[in-house]
Amino acid sequence: MVCTTNDLSAWKDFPKGLRVLLLDEDSSSTAEIKSNLEAMDYIVYTFCNENEALSAISNEPGNFHVALVEVSGSNVNGSFKFLENAKDLPTIMTSNIHCLNTMMKCIALGAVEFLRKPLSEDKLRNIWQHVVHKAFNAGASAQSESLKPVKDSVASMLELKVELRQAETEYMEKTENVSLAQESNEHQSPASDKYPAPSTPQLKQGGRLLDDGDCQDHINCSIEKESAEQEGESKSVETTYAMSQETLQLGDPQSFVETVIKEEDNSTDGVKIENNICPNPQNKDGLKNSNGGAKKASGLHNSYRTRANRKKMKVDWTPELHKKFEQAVEKLGVDQAIPSRILELMKVEGLTRHNVASHLQKYRMHRRHILPKEDDRRWPQHRDQVQRSYYPHKPIMAYPPYHPNHALPPRPVYPMWGATGSHPAGVHMWGPPGYPPWPTTESWHWKPYPGMHADAWGCPVMPPHSPYSSFPQNASGSQSASMVNNSCGVTQKSFDLQPAEEIIDKVVKEAINKPWLPLPLGLKPPSTDSVLAELSRQGISSLAPPH
DNA sequence: ACGCTAATAT
DNA sequence: GATATTAGCG
């Protein structure tokens, strides 16, 4: 075809000579773009309607490397038609209109990028990237003759670079770029062609997520699978996750959540390279979920490369990721929340149980250490009756599940995870500014019983004066129990019956074994005073710090 | 195997 | 110092 080995040798100054199909109905802008591109040594072929362009493609397949297509208001369908019929050609859409839906549709139809007009020189200059990406990431079917030379050429360039770098470094693993080249040769999946350039072939993701209809996340950077973590050196097949067309729903742009995992790469001098990619901050508008207005950062992720080394990945617990974590925990109930189940519920590709366990550990620590203080601080009058109200412990206490619609106390002061307000700019993971990072409004259910909304909570209402004998809802008379039952209309047989000894044992035991959990009703943690009193009774007058 | 905690690393 | 990973134990 047009790309021959001669071209290859001529491509020392790549991307010079790359052939651009320019489809634009507006002749003046066409001329401008053309001249700009030509100034950059691209070879430009212009067309003013899609049929012409398409026939040019079909007549001379492989003649073009990349297409630049205008999406005009008047002929949107023409653009789409082109897209659909030129799947083998990396196609960049350009437009004055930047309607998110249109953009989405273009991308969904296979466009590699959507550029807003006016097309700056920078934008134009870089269009070759899509050609290279295609050359390396497209399936064999799409490996047209025009791409092959590109690939070879680029590969050889990269190899050159590798040698140079190796010369100046002591030890270094095979450069990712090389493995990239090799991998794309070996692991190409047939279905992996014609995806947006920045994204690499993806795993399809099955099933829906949490029942609130939340979105699917993809970790867009390669992580090793959990199965690989126990086995020694099995070269784990790297997978890079990106948006899949199956999950793409045109009318539902908010269903993309940004989830980023940083990959750390201790290369030569120990400089950390973060492969943190989220290049398209495009749609911030109207990203409200119907079920609660959760804001979603969205973005198509440019997974830049596919790598095959076994470096440890660092999971970046973005707000989105954490939110899923939190939702999983909520769904399970704090006490039932164990790493494996959370992992299951989160349905995040690539996340390992270890990651979740680690996060869970922190989460619990946070709850354990910060919350009681918060509680105290907010209701000092009940200092020695710290009541932890969120306790959906089904088996024993039969608390009602989390109710998403309950009213929140106005301007609640939620506990912060990290230092109080001393987070620099890195708060990105802890939610929108002004909000405390971890506990989102949905997840923290601190209801002082004085003003508690029993309707929403169902029943963990306890008279402020209730004695701290066990099970005040029974001990203090059936009155409170029945009142509660009446008021919330929930039948709670367990409250009507005198708890069996074993139940009490179980509760107490559990309270002891799982200190991070809220205490069941009627149990209270020892007050500071009583602890001190007991200590002094035992002859201990001062406390050594916990460590 | 799994969950949890503590130690370790970044 | 905060946060994620790893190791070790039950």
Are A445 and A390 spatial neighbours (Cβ–Cβ below 8 Å)?
A: yes
**pLDDT 10s digits, A171-201:** 343 344 444 444 444 343 333 333 333 333 3
**pLDDT 10s digits, A393-412:** 333 333 333 333 443 333 33
CB of residue A358 closer than 7 A to nucleic acid strand B? Answer: yes
Instruction: Convert A294-334 into a string of H (helix), E (strand) and C (coil).
Output: CCCCCCCCCCCCCCCCCCCEEECCCHHHHHHHHHHHHHHCC
CB of residue A338 closer than 7 A to nucleic acid strand B? Answer: yes
What DSSP character marks residue A272? B
Separation of A464 CA and B9 C1' (Å): 47
**pLDDT 10s digits, A253-270:** 333 334 444 444 444 343
What element of type H or E holds A261? strand A261-263
Q: Which residue is nearest to nucleotide B4 (CA to C1')?
A: A361
How crowded is residue A120: how many other Cβ atoms within 10 Å of its Cβ?
A: 12
Q: What is the pLDDT of residue A522?
A: 55
Per-residue pLDDT of chain A (547 residues; tens, 9 = 90+): 334 444 444 466 777 888 999 998 888 888 888 999 999 989 999 998 889 899 999 888 778 999 999 998 888 888 999 999 988 889 999 998 878 888 888 999 999 999 988 888 888 988 988 888 888 776 554 455 566 666 666 666 554 444 334 444 433 433 444 444 444 443 433 333 333 333 333 333 333 333 333 333 444 333 334 444 443 333 333 333 333 333 333 333 333 334 444 444 444 343 333 333 333 333 333 333 333 333 333 332 333 333 334 445 678 888 888 888 888 888 888 888 889 888 888 888 788 888 889 888 888 888 776 666 555 555 444 444 433 433 333 333 333 333 334 433 333 333 444 333 333 433 434 444 444 444 443 343 333 333 333 333 333 333 333 333 333 334 333 444 444 444 444 444 444 444 555 555 666 566 656 655 655 555 555 566 665 666 676 666 555 544 3
Q: Tokens for A503?
A: 């139940």
**Single-letter amino acid, residue A329:** V
Q: Which nucleotide is nearest to A356 (CA to C1')?
A: C4
Q: What is the pLDDT of residue A332?
A: 87
Q: Which residue is nearest to nucleotide C4 (CA to C1')?
A: A314
Q: Tokens for A261?
A: 């995992």
How crowded is residue A292: how many other Cβ atoms within 10 Å of its Cβ?
A: 13
CB of residue A125 closer than 7 A to nucleic acid strand B? Answer: no
Q: What is the pLDDT of residue A345?
A: 87
* pTM of the predicted structure, to 2 decimals: 0.35
Separation of A349 CA and B1 C1' (Å): 21
Q: Which nucleotide is nearest to A261 (CA to C1')?
A: C4
| Strand C nucleotides where any atom sits below 7 Å of a protein CB | 1-7
CB of residue A223 closer than 7 A to nucleic acid strand B? Answer: no
Q: What is the pLDDT of residue A198?
A: 39
| Strand B nucleotides where any atom sits below 7 Å of a protein CB | 1-6, 10
Separation of A224 CA and C7 C1' (Å): 19
Q: Tokens for A73?
A: 């208001």
Q: What is the pLDDT of residue A532?
A: 61
Interatomic CA distance for residues A131 and A90, integer angstroms: 6
Separation of A354 CA and C6 C1' (Å): 10
3-state SS assignment for residue A492:
coil
